[in-house]
Amino acid sequence: MHKKFPALLAVAAAGGLLLSGCVPNPTATSQSLAVSSTETDCVVEANTATSGTLTFTVKNDGHRISEFYILAENGLSIVGEVENIAPGGTRDLTVVAQPGSYFTVCKPGMIGAGVGQAAFTVTGETVAVSADEQEAVNAAVASYVGYVKTQTSELLPAVEEFAAAYVAGDDGKARALFPIVRINYERIEPTAEQFGDLDPAIDYRKPGAEAEGLEFTGFHRIEMDLWIDEARLNYPDEQIDALDTAARTVLADKLVADVTELNDLVHDASFVLTLSDITNGAIGLLDEVAAPDGKLPGEENEFAHTDLYDFYANVEGAEVAYSTVRDIAASRGEAGAALVAELDTQFAAMKSLLETYGDYASGFVFYDTVGQDERNELGAQLNALSEPLSQLTHTVLGVASD
Amino acid sequence: MSHPTDDTDGVTLPAAELSSGLSRREVLGLVGAGAAGAVVGAGAAAMAGAALGGGAAQSPDLSYPFYGAHQAGILTPVQDQLHFASFDLTRTANRGAVIELLREWTDAAARLTRGRDVTQAGAVGGPPLAPPDDTGDALDLGPSGLTITFGFGPTLFHDAQGTDRLGIGGRRPAEFEELPLFAFDLIDRASSGGDLCIQACANDPQVAVHAIRNLSRIAFGTARIRWTQLGFGRTSSTTTGQLTPRNLFGFKDGTANIMSENRDAVLEHVWVPETHPQAWLRGGSYLVGRKIQMLIESWDRVSLHEQEHIIGRSKGEGAPLSGGREATTPDFERVSADGEVAIPVDAHVRLAHPVSNAGARMLRRGYNYVNGNNDLGQLDAGLFFLAYQAEPETFITVQRSLARDTLNEYIRHVGSSIWAVPPGAREGEFVGQALFSE
C-alpha cells in the first residue's frame, strides 16, 4: 500500500530559507500555528489544519539552539524544516499543506532523534501548486539534503552511546546497539561515500580494508571484537585477540571522530546534492545490498549476522530518495505514471517481505538462520525493485513533464 | 573490462595488406605448411583471419607449430575458446616424476596441436580389451587452431611449508612471488594459484576441452587438478587482423593491446630478456591470471552515460571520450564543452593507460566466462583475465593504479594466479627442460 509523502510543499521560512525558494502566495486560507520547542517536548498549537498555506511560528523555549521539522507519513522524509532557532528566539516555517498525515518534531541541540514527535493531520481539498519545474526540483533536493542532515545528526549520539558501552566493557549493550546504530548510516551510505576516506574508515569490512592496505577500523572492527568467537570461526588461520580497554578506546574514539566529521560535513554550507545524486543514490543503496560483499550474501555483518537491519535501512533510504522525486516522476507522462505505480508496488512488496523477518523494534532474525531459498526470494524481490528504480534518473531528468 | 595498454604505434605487418592478393586456399596453405617460428606463424594466422573476415569462420585445419623459440598461445592470434587448468603436485610426486610428466605433456601437446590423437594408438588404434589412450571426443575435429601453453607456479619451487620438493628452489627468480592483495580483491584460494598450469586455446571448444582432459589423464599420480576455467568470446585481439571483441559489459576490450606484429613492443614488454639471471626463463614470460567477477545485474542498471564515463570510451564505436575513433589515442588533457575533463580522472581507460603507469604494457589474452549462476540466482559471469608480460611488476603497477577505478564498483577479483612460462621447446626437448637441467 503506497503512502504518498511530499504532499506538503514547503515554501519559505522567514529568516531561514527552507526547502524551495518559492514565495508563498498568501490566500484567504492562510493559517498560523504556534509551536513551543522545549528541552523535552514540541508542543504544536493544534494537531490538525486545513489544506492551504500554513505558517508554523516556532518559539524556542529551551536553552539550546533548536530545530523544527514536519515529516511525511513514513516519519523519514522531510516535508519542511526550520533550523538555528536561538534560545528565546522565534522563527517561521511556511508551507503549502496538502491533505495527508504528517509528524511534527523538535530537535533541541540539533542532534539526535528529536523530542515530542506527534501526528499532524491536514484535511480538506488538494491545493494547486505552482507547476514551475525548477521550484519542484529545488524543493526535492532541499528535502533530501534535510533528510541526510537528520540522519547524521541522529547517528552521532547513537554512535557515542554505542562507543561508550563498548569501551566500558558492556558487551551485551554494545551488541544490542550495533545493528540499531547502523540504521541511520545505512540509509544514506552513498552520501558518506562521496567524502573519500570517511566511508572506508567507518564501514569497511575486514577483507576490504586488508585488500587496500588500510587500517581496519570502524563499525566492523568493533563488530569483530564483540563477536570474537564468530570472527575466529570465519578466519581460522588468523590469531584474533580480544582487545583490551586501551585498544577499545582507540577504536571507539576514532569511530566517534569520523562520524562527527561526517555530520559536520553534511551540515556545512558547501554540502550540495543534485537531483541525479539522489536518484542514482537510490539505486546505489540497493546495489549495496546485492553486492557479493553486501547484505544479500550475508557478508556485510559477517560476525554479527545482523544484515537484515542494514538491508531494511538501505531500502528505506532508497525509498526516501524515491519519494523525494516521486511527484516529479509522476508528472512525466504515461511512462512516469507507470514507473511510479510500479515502484510504489515494489517498494511495498520489498518491505513487506523483509518485515516477515522482523523489524527494528523487536529485532530481525539473524541472517545466518535465513536459508538459501529464502535468500533467493529476497534477491528476486530486490531485482524486481532495482530494475524499475534504475529508470528513475532518466524519467526525472530525461523526460519532459506533462 | 579491458586493462588497456593503448597502442597506436605503427604496425609492422599490416595483415590486410599482406593478405591482399592471396586466395583463401593460399592463405590456409601457408598456415598448413607450418611457417617456421612462432612469430611468423602468428603473422600467417592473422592473414588467415583477415582473409576469412575477422575469424568468424576459422578452418578446422588451422594449425600452429608447437615447437619454437617461444611457446605458442601467447603471440598466436587469440582463438575463440579457452580451457585453462591449474594443477597441484600430488603428495608423492618427486623430481623424476615431474620431469617425466613434462616430457609426456610435451609429446602429447605436440601431437594434439597437429590434430592428432594423444598417442600413436590413440582413440581406436589400441587393443580392444584396453581402454583407448585417447578419449576420442576430438576425433574428426581437426587441430582447430589449438595451442597448449605450460606454466609453473611459485609453489612449484617452494610449497606452502617452504619445502623445495624438486630441487629447483635456487632457480626461482627473485621477482617471482604470489601476487599481493589489491583493492576490492575478494580472492577465493580454491580458484587461485597452483603448481602447474596449462592454457589450451582453440577455435572449437571441444578441442580445447579434449586437450585438458587428456593432459589431466596423463598427470594422474603426479599432479591433480586444482581448478579449471572455461572461457569463450576472447576479450582481446593480439593481431591487427582481428576485430576488437567485446566483454560481458558490452564494451570493446583490448583496443590497445600489444599486437604480435609489433616486434619492438613484444621484445620489450612480453619476453623475459636474454639478460635475466635465470637462464631457464629467458625467452619465456610471466602469465597473470585473474578471475574477475562482473556484478552483471548491477551493471545493467547503470545508465549509458555513466557506463561510458566509467570506462572512458563510447559503447558503440569504442572511441575514447576525448573524441576520434576506436584507434584514436585518448587525449587525457581534453576538456569537454561542459568544462569537465572529457575522460574522467577515475575512468578505467585513464588509470590503465601506459601514461598513468610509467609506460607499463602487457599482452592481454583474456576470455569471457559464465559459470552458471550463484546460490542467489545471480549470473556467475565475468572476465578471465590473462596477460603476458616480461616482469610481474608490470601487472602489479597497473592493478595498483586501478584502485581508484570507478569500475571497481561493478567487479570483484575472485581468482588470482601468476605463472612463470618457460620458453618454447625444440623438437626432442620438453617444455621447461632447462629448469631441470643438472
Contacts of B378 in chain A (CB under 8 A): 290, 379
Whether B80 is covered by a domain: the verdict is: no
Q: Which of A245-254, B45-54, B229-238 has the highest mean pLDDT?
A: A245-254
pLDDT tops 70 at residue B17? no
pLDDT at A401: 64
Whether B344 is covered by a domain: the verdict is: no
pLDDT at A184: 95
pLDDT at A98: 85
Q: What is the pLDDT confidence band of residue B52, given thresholds at 50, 70 and 90?
A: very low
Domain boundaries, chain A: 2-127, 148-397
> Mean pLDDT over residues B236-249, rounded?
83
**Contact indicator for A221, A192 with CB cutoff of 8 Å:** no
pLDDT in tens, B293-342: 999 999 999 999 999 999 999 999 999 999 999 989 999 999 988 888 99
pLDDT at A326: 93
Q: How many domains does chain B have?
A: 1
Contacts of B376 in chain A (CB under 8 A): 296-297, 375-376, 379
Say how far apart CA B355 and CA B366 lie, in whole Å.
22
Secondary structure (3-state) at B74:
coil
CATH 2.40.10.330 fits domain A148-397: no
- Chosen for mutation from B186, B295, B302, B405 (greatest number of chain A CBs closer than 10 Å) is B186
- When mean pLDDT is compared across A15-19, B55-59, B227-231, B358-362, the lowest value belongs to A15-19
pLDDT at B239: 80
- When mean pLDDT is compared across B143-147, B255-259, B419-423, the lowest value belongs to B255-259
pLDDT tops 90 at residue B289? yes
pLDDT at A26: 39
Contacts of A280 in chain B (CB under 8 A): 306
**DSSP symbol at B433:** G
pLDDT tops 60 at residue B389? yes
pLDDT tops 70 at residue B412? yes
Per-residue pLDDT of chain A (402 residues; tens, 9 = 90+): 333 333 444 433 332 223 333 334 434 456 889 999 999 999 999 999 998 888 899 999 999 889 999 998 888 888 888 888 888 888 888 887 889 999 999 999 888 888 999 999 999 988 766 567 788 888 899 999 999 999 999 999 999 999 999 999 999 999 999 999 999 999 999 888 888 789 989 999 998 888 888 899 999 999 999 999 999 999 999 999 999 999 999 999 999 999 999 999 999 988 989 898 999 999 999 999 998 889 999 999 999 999 999 999 999 999 999 999 998 999 888 999 999 999 999 999 999 999 999 999 999 999 999 999 999 999 999 999 999 999 999 998 876 665
Q: Decide if B377 and A297 are in contact by the 8 Å CB cutoff.
A: no
Work out the widest C-alpha separation in chain B, in whole angstroms.
78
pLDDT at A29: 54
Contacts of B377 in chain A (CB under 8 A): 376, 379-380
Residues 75-134 of A with CB under 8 A from B: none
> Mean pLDDT over residues B36-42, rounded?
37
Whether B402 is covered by a domain: the verdict is: no
pLDDT at B19: 32
Whether B391 is covered by a domain: the verdict is: no
Q: Taking CA A123 as the corner, what is the angle to CA A119 and CA A129, rounded to the nearest 5 degrees?
A: 105
Inform me whether the C-beta atom of residue B181 falls under 8 Å from chain A C-beta atoms.
Answer: yes
Q: Decide if A283 and B301 are in contact by the 8 Å CB cutoff.
A: yes
Inform me whether the C-beta atom of residue A293 falls under 8 Å from chain B C-beta atoms.
Answer: yes
pLDDT in tens, B89-132: 999 999 999 999 999 999 999 999 999 999 999 999 999 999 99
Inform me whether the C-beta atom of residue A207 falls under 8 Å from chain B C-beta atoms.
Answer: yes
Q: Which of B27-31, B86-90, B399-403 has the highest mean pLDDT?
A: B86-90
Secondary structure (3-state) at B256:
coil
Averaged pLDDT of chain A: 88
Write the class of the CATH domain A2-127: mainly beta
pLDDT at A400: 65
pTM beyond 0.90: the answer is no
Residues 357-396 of B with CB under 8 A from A: 375-378
Count how many pairs of residues, chain A against chain B, have C-beta atoms within 8 Å: 56
**Pairing label, strands A115-123, A48-50:** parallel
Separation of first and last alpha carbons in chain A: 25
SS (H, E, C) chain A: CCCCCCCCEEEECCCCCCCCCCCCCCCCCCEEEEEEECCCCEEECCCEEECEEEEEEEEECCCCCEEEEEECCCCCCEEEEEEEECCCCEEEEEEEECCEEEEEEECHHHCCCCEEEEEEEEECCCCCCCCCHHHHHHHHHHHHHHHHHHHHHHHHHHHHHHHHHHHCCCHHHHHHHHHHHHHHHHHCHHHHHCCCCHHHHHHCCHHHHHHHCCCCCCHHHHHHHHCHHHHHHHCCCCCCCCCCHHHHHHHHHHHHHHHHHHHHHHHCCCCCCCHHHHHHHHHHHHHHHHCCCCCCCCCCCCCCCCHHHHHHHHHHHHHHHHHHHHHHHHCCHHHHHHHHHHHHHHHHHHHHHHHCCEECCCEECCHHHCCHHHHHHHHHHHHHHHHHHCCHHHHHHHCCCC
Contacts of A386 in chain B (CB under 8 A): 297-298, 301
pLDDT in tens, B205-219: 999 999 999 999 999
> Mean pLDDT over residues B145-162, rounded?
96
Query: B31 lies in which domain range?
Result: 6-52
Secondary structure (3-state) at B147:
strand
Smallest CA-to-CA distance from B318 within B365, B260, B394, B255 is with B255
pLDDT at B324: 93
Inform me whether the C-beta atom of residue A211 falls under 8 Å from chain B C-beta atoms.
Answer: yes
Inform me whether the C-beta atom of residue B186 falls under 8 Å from chain A C-beta atoms.
Answer: yes
